[in-house]
Amino acid sequence: MKDRREVMNRWCGVMEWLDRLGYMTAGFSLLVLGMLLFAHAWYVFATKAGQIGLLPSGLKLLNDLLLVIILLELFRTVIRFLQTEVLDLEPYLAVGIIACTRRVLTASAELSHLPSMNETQFYQYLMDVGLNVMVIMVLVIGVFLVRKRPVPSSVPLP
């Protein structure tokens, strides 16, 4: 019975180590991908700004930079989890806000490049932007509520 418990504890230790290794490799991958996307976004901006115009290039750069911020926020969340072994909700709310903001900017950029637009496309754009703005507002309220919640004390109650 004792041998079986020792084997189980050993296997649990190995699985916990593999879990941490998985988080470390995923976090490192997020960091490397963010750095590569950052460099590529600026390269594309520098080479295409003169060809297609500053506004479209700037919007594309902004969209790519917001994606980099999302990746870095996820990287920071992984680091925080590895340090504290506590998974916070607030970084995921921030990622949601940034992702919805990206979608609003992308939809606006797509709209500005249409040669002509019919009424259906316009209402689809309004619905898309309106839904994303509503989600942003709900997520901001979520961030507010998370920040206002009482902090649990680390002292155990008797």
Q: Compute CA distances 106 → 26, 31, 39, 53, whole Å.
A: 27, 24, 20, 16
pLDDT digits 0-9 by tens, 91-108 = 889 999 999 988 888 887
User: Model pTM?
Assistant: 0.74
CA distance 146 to 93: 10
pLDDT digits 0-9 by tens, 5-36 = 888 888 998 999 999 999 999 999 999 999 99
The two tokens of residue 106 are 């992308």
pLDDT digits 0-9 by tens, 36-95 = 999 999 999 999 888 887 877 888 898 899 899 999 999 999 998 888 888 888 888 999
